[in-house]
């Protein structure tokens, strides 16, 4: 029996966000209020089977405390999906990452929803909505690579230019353990509100076509309470939260303390992330700008926050950022 079937209903998932939900930020969120399920950033299966493999391993890096963790992959060539899935399932990647014996990924997810122009023009991610033979080949190759050792899921959108229920029907016919549906088409990007009514229609299709496939909704969820309401209204198995975590690192908590967090507590949490980032990426695997932008989460809601953010955003390395955060924290303690 897949661990997915043992998750609470509804379960909550931290969405995969490139250059955001790396191992460092997932650890920060877990320390605040852990989700029921984590995803990695999306990593290219073709790249993992190329000389660029070592540079991409950072996207798969994790600690035991971030589990259960699903590896999300994308790409174009079914053969590379097969090889990558096999190495994820048998622990090859876990060993390369230096993880303890017995610690591994909990599943593999196929990114068939990213709407970014470069990925779409390359025939990957949401472009697969219009290339079902390739989508089918990728799903089947991944399944063969997993060899029933890990569950297989897909994250996608409601269509390419327009809502396309035949795409959802197609995916529900693939024997997936889980289907995550973002309530927008590729064309809509993030320019319109997510349509949860379409997600509800997908759940109705699931009930008829693939009752064993879990349905997870995604799009514009800003609080756990809102997620619970949407899950109940549309009878979903799970809810995925992405950008909502930027407004509240405790978003997965039953009763978030974030609105009442003082400035010094917010700054202290950012300092914790800066320190963990510095410790984790000692060889410069992540550029400083991927850390600078996180100050928007923590440095707000108090006098002088805007000016402080501007200073932090200009930091050129972790040493400077660490010094600025420490000085700011000291100043608030003395105030």
Residues of the chain with pLDDT under 70: 1, 331-335
Task: Give residue 284's pLDDT.
Answer: 86
Catalogue the E-assigned strands of the chain: 11-14, 37-44, 69-74, 107-112, 152-157, 178-182, 214-218, 238-241
Task: Give residue 317's pLDDT.
Answer: 87
Name, in order, each residue with C-beta under 8 angstroms of 261's C-beta and a sequence gap of 6 or more: 269
pTM of the model: 0.95
Task: Give residue 23's pLDDT.
Answer: 97
Q: With pLDDT > 90 as the criterion, what percentage of the chain qualifies?
A: 80
Task: Give residue 155's pLDDT.
Answer: 98
Q: Is 136 a catalytic residue?
A: no
Calpha distance 134→89 (Å, rounded): 22
Q: Residue 115: is the preceding peptide bond cis (ω within 30°)?
A: no
Kind of pairing, strands 107-112 and 178-182?
Answer: unpaired
- Residue 279, both tokens: 């410790």
- Residue 218, both tokens: 């995604």
Contact by Cβ (8 Å): 230, 2: no
Q: Give CA separation, 305 vs 19, 39, 182, 288, 328, in Å.
A: 24, 31, 33, 20, 10
Task: Give residue 333's pLDDT.
Answer: 56
Contact by Cβ (8 Å): 7, 255: no
Neighbours of 197 (CB within 10 A): 12
Kind of pairing, strands 37-44 and 178-182?
Answer: unpaired
Catalytic member of 32, 114, 125, 295: 114
Task: Give residue 11's pLDDT.
Answer: 98
Kind of pairing, strands 107-112 and 214-218?
Answer: unpaired
Task: Give residue 41's pLDDT.
Answer: 97
**3-class DSSP state of 73:** strand
């Amino acid at each position: 029996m897949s661990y997915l079937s043992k998750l609470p209903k509804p379960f909550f998932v931290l969405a995969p966000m490139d250059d955001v939900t790396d191992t460092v930020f997932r650890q920060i969120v877990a320390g605040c209020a852990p989700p029921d399920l984590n995803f990695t950033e999306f990593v290219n299966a073709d790249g993992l089977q190329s000389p660029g493999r070592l540079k991409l391993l950072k996207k798969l890096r994790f600690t035991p405390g971030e589990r259960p963790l699903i590896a999300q992959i994308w790409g174009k060539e079914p053969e590379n999906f097969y090889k990558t899935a096999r190495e994820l399932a048998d622990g090859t990647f876990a060993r390369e990452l230096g993880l303890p014996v017995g610690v591994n990924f909990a599943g593999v997810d196929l990114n068939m929803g990213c709407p970014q122009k470069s990925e779409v023009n390359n025939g990957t991610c949401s472009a697969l909505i219009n290339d079902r033979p390739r989508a089918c080949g990728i799903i089947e190759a991944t399944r063969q690579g997993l060899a029933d050792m890990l569950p297989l899921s897909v994250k996608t959108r409601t269509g390419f230019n327009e809502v396309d229920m035949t795409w959802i029907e197609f995916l529900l016919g693939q024997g997936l353990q889980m289907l995550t549906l973002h309530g927008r088409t590729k064309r809509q990007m993030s320019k319109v509100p997510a349509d949860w009514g379409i997600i509800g229609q997908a759940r109705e299709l699931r009930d008829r076509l693939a009752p064993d496939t879990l349905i997870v909704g995604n799009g514009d969820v800003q609080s756990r309470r809102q997620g619970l309401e949407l899950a109940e209204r549309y009878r979903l198995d799970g809810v995925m939260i992405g950008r909502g975590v930027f407004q509240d690192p405790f978003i997965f908590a039953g009763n978030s303390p974030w609105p009442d967090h003082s400035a010094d507590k917010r700054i202290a949490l950012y300092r914790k992330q800066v320190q963990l980032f510095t410790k984790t990426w000692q060889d410069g695997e992540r550029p400083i700008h991927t850390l600078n932008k996180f100050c928007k989460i923590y440095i707000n809601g108090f006098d002088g926050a805007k000016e402080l953010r501007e200073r932090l955003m200009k930091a050129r390395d972790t040493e400077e950022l660490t010094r600025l955060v420490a000085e700011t924290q000291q100043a608030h303690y003395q105030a």
